Amino acid sequence: MNKKKKSKIILRVLNKIYPEVPIPLNYKNTFTLLVSVLLSAQCTDVNVNNVTKDIYPKYNKPAHFVKLGRRKIERLIKRIGIFRVKAKSIFYLSKTLVEKYKGKVPNTYAELEQLPGVGHKTASVVMSQGFGFPAFPVDTHIHRLAQRWGLTDGKNVVQTEKDLKAAFPKKYWNRLHLQIIWYGREYCKARDCYGITCKICKSCYPNRKKTCKNKESLNESLRNRQCYC
């Protein structure tokens, strides 16, 4: 089965299961979306939401976090993994936004990726969910499923993203990346489906008998990026 046929099956299944797709992270504005995505690296969305629900009602602008300073930010997010590294990034990106962008989050990849702690994946999420720009953010969930479903053999984030963008029309990208994340968490789990039991895997590979093993090179690549975000 070629990629075109697979992509049609995937779209059909995901649209049926997720006609309305929820956004996993809670936020108040584009800035808090940026902060939440940065916090979500090596951390569950549930944990991030539990922490930020007590932060965002009071602190939701770059100026707020600049005034707080690194140590107070650390105390606020200490329940989140690598919180000191993330607190440093949040402080300095907030400082940059205040000094260079008048407290506004820029709406280009180039500017976003120049902010402390912000990589291409984080920038893609903000461009997609914050500004409505067509984007296809790739995290470990999406990479794993793209390999299982035969949509990519990419060894890095760039190649996987390129292959997924080629496989699906641009108008579906923003919605689709969220649908894939939810599907991976609920139906095609890393240690459950193994590429042979969920509806999409069985439809794309009806004759697959052995479990699908994902390449580990992307995970290593992601870990070597700052917060792999």
Q: Cβ of 1: how many Cβ atoms within 10 Å?
A: 11
Q: Is 192 helix (H, G, I), strand (E, B) or coil?
A: coil
Q: What does the pLDDT read at residue 225?
A: 38
Altogether, the residues listed in the chain come to a count of 229
Query: Cβ(7)–Cβ(167) under 8 Å?
Result: yes
pLDDT single digits (tens) 97-133 = 999 999 999 999 999 999 999 999 999 999 999 999 9
Instruction: Report the pLDDT averaged over residues 132-150.
Output: 91
- φ, ψ for residue 131, nearest 5 deg: -120, -5
Rounded CA-CA distance 204/200 in Å is 6
pLDDT over threshold 90, residue 222: no
Domains of the chain: 3-20+135-224 (1.10.1670.10), 30-130 (1.10.340.30)
Identify whether 28 is a catalytic site residue: no
pTM of this prediction?
A: 0.88
How many whole angstroms separate alpha carbon 204 and alpha carbon 10? 8
Q: Nearest 5°: phi and psi at 33?
A: -60, -45
Residue recorded with tokens 């120049």: 114
Please confirm, yes or no, whether 215 is among the known catalytic residues: no
Helices within the chain (DSSP H only): 3-17, 30-39, 45-52, 62-76, 83-101, 109-112, 120-125, 140-148, 157-167, 173-186, 199-204, 217-223
Q: List the end-to-end C-alpha distance of the chain, in Å, as a whole number.
A: 33
**Active-site residue (options: 8, 139, 155, 215):** 139
To the nearest whole percent, how much of the chain has pLDDT over 70?
93
Mean pLDDT, residues 196-220: 79
6, 86, 121, 163: the catalytic one is 121
Query: Which DSSP state fits 172?
Result: G
Position 80: which residue type? I
**Cα angle for residues 99, 103, 105 (degrees, 5° grid):** 110
pLDDT in tens, 74-85: 999 999 989 999
Does 227 score more than 60 pLDDT?
no
